[in-house]
């Protein structure tokens, strides 16, 4: 992997929109295979952070290092080709294509088909097999030929994850994967995410504390554009700075719930 041994590193990352600085010197170093949940109050800059890492916005200053290579100046598709994929908070699908086609689109680049127009899709056995496999993984194999726009909300969320992991990226960012789901749906969905991201470096933005503690090895707390804590869940719970800034009440509730259960 990289010389530094980290899958993803943020070094003094800053982003300002006009005069307002949203990300104010964020530092983070994620090891390969770690599952990190990024939490923080509304407006802390969680989504902005994802947009910076995935190349949607360029940072004002600072470095983003993916597997030892700096990527902060690259376009989203270049970053994706280097092995980083992301999902979106609002499902971002190819609405008029079928489930299978959606997944195959996600697969094509990673299988080296690029912009080719001299090959038939039906002959691309590796890409088709991979798309079929993904469809089973996200449990949409019964909806193979249904257009993405005709899926239920939960199915669309699953397809969103499917497209994200389709290219086989080893660093995966999930932006509120369970947003808008019911409790029972969320539980099943977390299992699904666990299954499909085995062995990958995972970063998620989450509001649901159940999801956070269920999914993450480590928690990064983002407050006003800075990472004020990055540690194992228990250590973050105990961190006085975190409790003061944001988490105290939420964590206390969660612990109380745990104690009862």
Residues making contact with other proteins (CB under 8 A): 54, 75-77, 80-81, 85-86, 88, 92-97, 101, 104-106, 108-110, 113-125, 128-129, 132, 141-142, 144-145, 163, 166-167
Query: Nearest distance from residue 107's CB to other proteins, in Å?
Result: 9
> From residue 202, how far is each of 12, 59, 142, 243 by CA, in Å?
21, 21, 28, 25
Quote the CA–CA distance of 92 and 125 in Å, as a whole number.
26
Least Cα distance to 170 among 35, 70, 25, 27 occurs for 35
Q: Which is nearer to other proteins, 50 or 189 (CB)?
A: 50
Q: Which is nearer to other proteins, 18 or 77 (CB)?
A: 77
In three-state secondary structure terms, 26 is: strand
The 8-class DSSP code of residue 98 comes to B
| Cα three-residue angle 51-186-49, rounded to 5 degrees | 15
Q: Which is nearer to other proteins, 15 or 104 (CB)?
A: 104
Query: Nearest distance from residue 12's CB to other proteins, in Å?
Result: 25
In three-state secondary structure terms, 29 is: strand
Q: Which is nearer to other proteins, 77 or 183 (CB)?
A: 77
Query: Nearest distance from residue 92's CB to other proteins, in Å?
Result: 5
Helices 153-166 & 183-196 angle (0-180, nearest 10): 20
Q: Which is nearer to other proteins, 93 or 219 (CB)?
A: 93
Query: Nearest distance from residue 253's CB to other proteins, in Å?
Result: 35
Torsion of CA 232, 137, 95, 122, to 10 degrees: 140
Q: Which is nearer to other proteins, 3 or 77 (CB)?
A: 77
* Pairing verdict, β 69-70 and 226-231: unpaired
Query: Nearest distance from residue 111's CB to other proteins, in Å?
Result: 9
Least Cα distance to 207 among 40, 34, 90 occurs for 40
Q: Which is nearer to other proteins, 70 or 75 (CB)?
A: 75
Query: Nearest distance from residue 164's CB to other proteins, in Å?
Result: 8
Least Cα distance to 108 among 118, 96, 121, 91 occurs for 121
């Amino acid at each position: 992997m990289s010389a530094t041994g980290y899958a993803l590193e943020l070094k003094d990352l800053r982003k300002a929109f006009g005069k307002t600085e949203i990300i104010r010197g964020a530092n983070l170093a994620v090891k390969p295979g770690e599952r990190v949940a990024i939490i923080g109050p509304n407006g802390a800059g969680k989504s902005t952070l994802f947009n910076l890492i995935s190349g949607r916005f360029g940072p004002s200053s600072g470095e983003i290092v993916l597997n030892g290579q700096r990527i902060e100046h690259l376009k989203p598709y270049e970053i994706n080709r280097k092995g980083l994929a992301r999902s979106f908070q609002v499902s971002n699908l190819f609405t008029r294509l079928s489930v299978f086609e959606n997944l195959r689109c996600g697969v094509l680049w990673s299988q080296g088909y690029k912009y080719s127009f001299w090959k038939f899709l039906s002959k691309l056995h590796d890409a088709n097999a991979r798309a079929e496999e993904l469809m089973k993984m996200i449990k949409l194999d019964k909806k193979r030929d249904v257009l993405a726009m005709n899926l239920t909300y939960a199915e669309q969320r699953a397809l969103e994850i499917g497209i994200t992991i389709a290219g086989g990226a080893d660093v995966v960012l999930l932006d509120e994967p369970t947003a808008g789901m019911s409790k029972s749906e969320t539980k099943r969905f977390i299992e699904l995410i666990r299954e499909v991201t085995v062995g990958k470096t995972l970063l998620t933005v989450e509001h649901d504390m159940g999801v956070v503690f269920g999914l993450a090895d480590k928690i990064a707390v983002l407050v006003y554009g800075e990472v004020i804590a990055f540690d194992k869940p228990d250590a973050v719970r105990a961190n006085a700075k975190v409790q003061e800034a944001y988490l105290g009440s939420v964590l206390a509730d969660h612990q109380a719930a745990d104690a009862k259960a």
